[in-house]
Amino acid sequence: MAAPTGASARRPAGAVSIDDLPPGVLGRIFALAGSAAEIGPSVTLVSHAWRSRQGLRHLMLRSCDLVSLPDGPYLQGLEHLDVGSNRLTTLPPALPATLTKLVLSYNRQLVLSDADVDRLLGLPRLAELSVRDTATSVAVLERLFAAPNLRIA
């Protein structure tokens, strides 16, 4: 038996690449999920095809070892975004105005700046923000806690 090469050689045992799925399966998964999608550590995001998905309202990308969140149509109309337990160091640049809940917790190197707070407070529907176990300064956290219509977890 030949040893795996390329992306499959770096894939953890038991992980599935989106590229390995038969044609149409990813679309059916999203259809079954309705308006929500969860992509976790058991799926290696080798392909960028998932970023073209539109119509999601809830997206969980927890524990995917992400260092950034790429822009794409999948963000349009998104209400809940969970990118907790990754390796983010900065606030994702492309956050939709429709966002009501954002989970950034357990990105232990994430440092939110005053400019990030301004961006977050400028999201008209954002009502809940989770920033537990990040490297954000106390001064920045105090600004977030002072926001009257934002629940901080």
All domains of the chain in start order, with CATH: 36-152 (3.80.10.10)
Contacts of range 8-16, beta carbons closer than 8 Å, 24 or more positions apart: 11/44, 11/46, 12/41, 12/44, 14/42, 15/41, 15/42, 15/43, 15/44, 16/42, 16/43, 16/44
- DSSP class per residue in 113-134: -HHHHHHHHT-TT--EEE-TT-
| pTM of the predicted model over 0.75 | no
Q: Quick: pLDDT tens for 43-88.
A: 434 345 566 667 788 888 888 888 888 888 888 889 999 999 999 9
Specify whether the CB–CB gap between 88 and 65 falls below 8 A: no
pLDDT band at 3 (very low <50, low <70, confident <90, very high): very low
What is the model's pLDDT at position 141?
Answer: 95
CA-wise closest residue to 6 among 20, 26, 23:
20
pLDDT at 37 over 70: no
Q: Quick: pLDDT tens for 113-146.
A: 999 999 999 999 999 999 999 999 999 999 999 9
CB burial of residue 83 (10 Å; 0-12, 13-18, 19+): buried
Specify whether the CB–CB gap between 40 and 62 falls below 8 A: yes
CA distance 145 to 1: 57
What is the model's pLDDT at position 95?
Answer: 95
DSSP letter (8 states) at residue 136:
-
CB burial of residue 5 (10 Å; 0-12, 13-18, 19+): exposed
Specify whether the CB–CB gap between 36 and 56 falls below 8 A: yes
